[in-house]
Amino acid sequence: MTIPFARPRPAFPEPSGRPDVSSKLDLVQRPRRNRKAGWARELLRENTLTVADLIWPIFVMDGSEARTPVGSMPGVDRLTVDEAVREAARAAALGIPAIALFPYTDPELRTADGREALNRDNLVCRTLRAIKNEVPEIGLITDVALDPYTSHGHDGLLSSDGRILNDETVAVLVEQALVQADAGADIIAPSDMMDGRVGAIRRALDASGHLDAQILAYSAKYASAFYGPFRDAVGSSGCLKGDKLTYQMDPANGMEALREAALDIEEGADMLMVKPGLPYLDIVYRLKEAFGLPTFAYQVSGEYAMIEAAARNGWLDGEKAMMESLMAFKRAGADGILTYFAPRVAEKLARKG
């Protein structure tokens, strides 16, 4: 049998008498040679993680000069707009290329139709304008989906018999995307998983002059338990009725991710996203291999929470686990990673020089 990447193995000679314990193995290849010292490991390393690989998701809330911790995400705070501007400036100074914004909407403003998503003065729009004004060099990504704004916590509109209405939802998402682009979003990221939304958003952006607004399509977004802490952060865990299984993907499916991504590319996606991250590295790899489009992975809230929880319990080395998890995304072919660790990683990489 020939083994790829290895030389054919000669048949072992018949044992003759007692084994000679002092004898050396007859090996031509000794892969450990290439790991013998730090300089050799550096020289031969196949992948690198740089600050340019990082996208930082942040949570914004109403008010001023305040931060409130997210209980299930130790180390992560919701930020008022002025604090978000300060953090954006810090991120830009560290070399983080882009920030993704997620709003904690006042529960009073949540409605069945999620109309606050279309308010040109909503939290996301105010944050976009403030950061664009003060930190114009950083890229701004906004999430297109209704869950931060709906009273039922779903990403789309709900019919009276409890179904998520696809085409009706897409019409609202198009408006939401336009409102975000008008307020200064550079990258529009639909995370709702409705069919046809990428094409509809692309056409509307083009028709309104936003030819340069990029679309980062959450093409393969799975119905995942790892979003739990995020739903706390944006305040939708309390109100979410039921589950998202009729629009987010089944964790058992891989081929379906290829079909979803192919459709989004046909419809005009500039970049693809896989979400969650670490449990779905096979999907990252397959999408990158199949399409070669810029492909991102989202190390989601639950992944962050698991590493932080174990680290804070002293069960693992948090810094090392953080770096290893991010390198794994690069090895799988990701062009970048959305991660709540972004500023910590950026600081660590900067210290290394």
Ligand X SMILES: NCc1[nH]cc(CCC(=O)O)c1CC(=O)O
- Binding partner of residue 329 among ligand X, Mg ion, none, CB under 5 to 8 Å per kind? none
Among 149, 222, 227, 329, the residue binding ligand X under the rule CB under 6 A is 227
Distance CA 307, CA 280 (A): 17
- Binding partner of residue 260 among Mg ion, ligand X, none, CB under 5 to 8 Å per kind? Mg ion
Point out the residues that are catalytic: 221, 275
Distance CA 161, CA 65 (A): 43
Query: Please, where are the H alpha helices in the chain?
Result: 38-44, 81-94, 123-134, 166-182, 197-207, 228-233, 255-266, 281-291, 301-312, 318-331, 342-352
Among 53, 87, 116, 143, the residue binding ligand X under the rule CB under 6 A is 143
Does 169 bind ligand X (CB under 6 A)? Our answer is no
Minimum CB distance to ligand X, residue 38 (Å): 35
Distance CA 186, CA 181 (A): 7
**Any residues with CB less than 8 A from the CB of 322 and at least 6 apart, and which?**
307, 341, 344, 345
Minimum CB distance to ligand X, residue 301 (Å): 3
Does 260 bind Mg ion (CB under 5 A)? Our answer is yes
Buried b (16+ CB within 10 A) or exposed e, 110-129: beeebbbbbeeebbbbbbbb
Sign of CA dihedral 224, 219, 285, 91: negative
**Which residue's Cβ has the minimum distance to ligand X?**
230
Q: Which is nearer to ligand X, 192 or 308 (CB)?
A: 192
- The pair of structure tokens assigned to 272 is 């693809």
Does 155 bind ligand X (CB under 6 A)? Our answer is yes
3-state secondary structure 277-326: CHHHHHHHHHHHHHHCCCEEEEECHHHHHHHHHHHHCCCCCHHHHHHHHH
- Of the listed pieces 34-42, 148-156, 239-247, 255-263, which binds Mg ion according to CB under 5 A? 255-263
Does 300 bind ligand X (CB under 6 A)? Our answer is yes
Q: Count CA atoms within 13 Å of residue 197 on its CB side.
A: 35
Question: Please, which of residues 173-212 interact with ligand X by CB under 6 A?
Answer: 191-192
Does 72 bind ligand X (CB under 6 A)? Our answer is no
Size of the site for Mg ion (CB under 5 A): 1
- Binding partner of residue 87 among ligand X, Mg ion, none, CB under 5 to 8 Å per kind? none
Length of the chain: 353
Does 230 bind ligand X (CB under 6 A)? Our answer is yes
Q: Which is nearer to ligand X, 80 or 191 (CB)?
A: 191
**Which residue's Cβ has the minimum distance to Mg ion?**
260
- Binding partner of residue 232 among Mg ion, ligand X, none, CB under 5 to 8 Å per kind? none
Q: Which is nearer to Mg ion, 232 or 260 (CB)?
A: 260
Distance CA 337, CA 353 (A): 21
- Of the listed pieces 122-130, 252-260, 266-274, 338-346, which binds Mg ion according to CB under 5 A? 252-260
- The pair of structure tokens assigned to 322 is 């953080």
Does 104 bind ligand X (CB under 6 A)? Our answer is no
Minimum CB distance to ligand X, residue 143 (Å): 5
Binding site for Mg ion (CB under 5 A): 260
Binding site for ligand X (CB under 6 A): 143, 145, 147, 155, 191-192, 227, 230-231, 300-301
